[in-house]
Amino acid sequence: MKKTFLLVFAFLSLTTFGQAKVDLTANLNSETAKPKLVVGIVVDQMRYDYLTRFYNRFGEGGFKRLMNEGFNCQNNHFNYIPTYTAPGHASIFTGTTPSMHGIIGNNWYDKDSNEDVYCVSDKDYQSVGATDNSGRMSPHRLKVNTITDQLRLHTQFRSKTIGIAIKDRGAILPAGHTAKAAFWFDGDDEGKWISSTYYLDKLPDWVNKFNQSGKAEAYMKPWNTLYDVKTYTESGSDDNTYEGLFKGETKPVFPHDLPKLRKENKNFEMIKSTAFGNSITTDFAIAAIKGEQLGKGSETDFLTLSFSSTDYVGHMFGVNSVEVEDTYLRLDQDLERFLLLLDTEVGKGNYTVFLTADHGAVDVPAYLRDHKIPAGYFDSSSFKKYLKEFSIRKFEGNQLIKDISNKQVFLDEKLISEKDYDLDDVEEAFAQAILGFPKIAETYTATAMRNTDFSKGVANLLQNGYNQKRSGNVLYTLKSGVIDYTKTGSTHGSGYDYDTHVPLLFYGWGIRQGKTVQKTNITDIAPTIAALLGIEMPDGTTGIPLEFVID
């Protein structure tokens, strides 16, 4: 009797607000209700403070709509090192770290084949839509499945999953092993969106139509600021020594004349390093929603969308540049038109969106030093020479180093065994030698990574990024503000806050409105979406569902 009274009371109360039928039905069918479409957005190289730094310049329908109408996790971090693009995208969609999913970098030294490998390269497949090898890719190096895979499995493959990004790795890794398709942008003289025979034998008609539309050519225009350059007060001066140059430029200032510079800068490849790269990605994502009829079927579909040009712009011009500010103001407009398209095509309230980043970025060290903040540049050439000389001097003339990459040293374990050296002792000797080199912060051996449970600090971040089969024998980190990079532009990869602290916004169906400063991890995203959809979590999940996000 009491339950009946409460139900009637709830119904009458909701009727007052004109929502009774929709809300009551949703509550009664909470176990089977689902959104028509999930969109996972990754903004490449987006620091969290871009949301606050540019907030007053954003419109109401892009970032602000997600922040104010959705749920904002303000203290969201990567919980591993290295903070690169491929591990970032893999971790977001697998709900785990490189220790489990195996994507330890964009490229890495493969101990079995004795060669460097690219995270998604795959000679077993051919390019689709391209005349070169830029489409010979697949997710085969990803050792676990993704939230997108789990959705496909749950629905007996009735759900559609499409991955889109300018970068191949930004499209392929989020889309998982079972995606219907993944598409990425082939620059140079092509200026087309392409794929791999891993997914399909030929491009869909809607992709061919898009490639023939002249969109890429339309964006080969001068890049000027969206507003008067004098109003860009959230950035440094437009003309400074901390920024890189397009080939053919004498100053890193607006406008950047793409038509004039395209020949010297690999033609359509230039689009990637401008704000227009995000715009053409948005155009293509809109075409995909319409062409694939995403959100129109009986099951939930999943679109993974990565905006890569923010990373290219940040690398070239630095996080404090007018170029970065303009790129985010334009991306805000692209987000607004994309969300409006979802409102129209899928229906407002029928889709769920999350937005995050694959890593942050550091201020240009030269800029930091000029403002008396500790920072600098790591001399990798001298470091490699120093270590090789140490090996010869310490180990009877034997060169025990096979490779130095991704801030890891790979040793020749076969030779170490033949010389009857103790591997643990050799690793420790190299770790101590590395610690004595300028600008090194910490070193750890693979033995320590395997045998010690590090629960906090840098050691914990390194352990989460350490994969027993793929990682090196000695891992090292650089001091804060120190990078192994050019003297202009920004980069990333460390465990410092400027690289780990990134946005996490949830919006739409099933999402509560609010915000928190409680610490969340990037690995919590996939299990949260799994809980929202009522499906199994990805098989390697180490994160936890963010219960306070779900309505």
Q: Active-site residue numbers?
A: 85
Q: What sign has the CA pseudo-torsion 112, 117, 118, 120?
A: negative
Answer whether 71's CB lies under 8 Å from 506's CB.
yes
Nearest to 89 by CA among 147, 49, 38, 136: 147
Answer whether 178's CB lies under 8 Å from 152's CB.
yes
Q: CA 396, 402, 407 angle in degrees (round to 5)?
A: 115
Q: What sign has the CA pseudo-torsion 404, 110, 466, 149?
A: positive
Going through 398-543 in order, the beta strands assigned E by DSSP cover 401-405, 408-411, 440-445, 474-478, 482-483, 504-508, 514-521
Nearest to 399 by CA among 408, 407, 411, 409: 411
Q: What is the 3-state secondary structure (H, E, C) of 83-115?
A: CCHHHHHHHHHHCCCHHHHCCCCCEEEECCCCE
Backbone angles phi, psi at 398, to 5 degrees: -90, 130
Nearest to 161 by CA among 171, 531, 170, 169: 171
Nearest to 358 by CA among 522, 218, 496, 468: 522
Question: Within a 13 Å sphere around the CA of 265, how many CA atoms are in the beta-carbon half?
Answer: 20
Q: What sign has the CA pseudo-torsion 386, 392, 393, 394?
A: positive
CA distance 127 to 137: 8
3-state secondary structure (DSSP) of residue 359: coil
Answer whether 369's CB lies under 8 Å from 376's CB.
yes
Counts of helices then strands in the chain (DSSP H, E): 22, 18
Largest CA distance in the chain: 88
Answer whether 157's CB lies under 8 Å from 178's CB.
yes
CA distance 87 to 102: 8
Which residue is listed with tokens 């030269």?
Answer: 366
Rg (CA), the chain: 24
410: its two tokens: 């790979």
**Helix (H) or strand (E) segment spanning residue 269:** none
